[in-house]
Amino acid sequence: MQRAPHKNQESHQMKTVSEIVRLGPVIPVLAFDSVEQGEHVSRALHAGGVKVLEITLRTAAGIAAIERASQLADDIVVGVGTITKPEHCAQAKKAGAQFGVSPGLTKDMHKAAQDAGLPLLPGVMTPSDIIAAMELGYEIVKFFPAQQAGGIPMLQAFHGPFPNLKICPTGGITAETAPSFLAQPNVVCVGGSWLTPKAALAAQNWEEVTRLARAASELAPHK
């Protein structure tokens, strides 16, 4: 894979959240033990057709892994996940992140994302969360933790009062359940960690990661 000349060139121009969530049906949620592991996994996922990565800040390698992954290919879109503090937005943007994902939303986090120029996919779990996000101008949200918070029946319940809202459910979704989530009219894509099973990462079985990525990329077309 050719390394992109520079992450700020035309190929890495800013995309909106609406554009990003439509680049593929599954956004892998990633946590890396090291920057090197992150590079191997990111390459393997890209080889399987996955172009959008959510690299979380759940490990110390997160920021450096974002910087490395964002330079691997012209068409990779790297986001920062598990944003829980406003200062995470500027840190991730400086490292090359093109969007942010949070498990929840506050006004301070919203402002920090705007100030950093980082498109944000905010997390919601309840109707009140959704209304608060919509008041701040969000039309696409992350439903988290999706399975634990009601799964598909909850998504169906949301669709009535929020018919125009687009949702990326994340949390507890598997290769087996992903198609049912993607079939919902308000689901634009899903987030998941099943593309990087712990056993495959421990064995450095990057071919298995590519296989799972290819299968995920071939799921039902995104809306």
| Fold classification of 10-217 (topology level) | TIM Barrel (3.20.20)
Residue 8 has a pLDDT of 42
> For residue 127, what are the β-bridge partners?
none
pTM of the complete model: 0.92
Which is catalytic among the residues 54, 67, 93, 166?
Answer: 54
Of 92, 77, 102, 69, give the one whose Cα is nearest residue 14: 77
What are residue 156's phi and psi, to 5 degrees?
-65, -35
**142 given a catalytic annotation:** yes
54 included as an active-site residue = yes
Residue ranges, the chain, pLDDT below 70: 1-13, 221-223
pLDDT score recorded for residue 7: 42
Please check whether residue 98 is in contact with residue 15, taking contact to mean a CB–CB distance below 8 angstroms: yes
Cα 63 from chain centre = 15
Q: Which two three-digit tokens encode residue 84?
A: 């829980």
Q: Catalytic pick from 7, 67, 93, 142?
A: 142
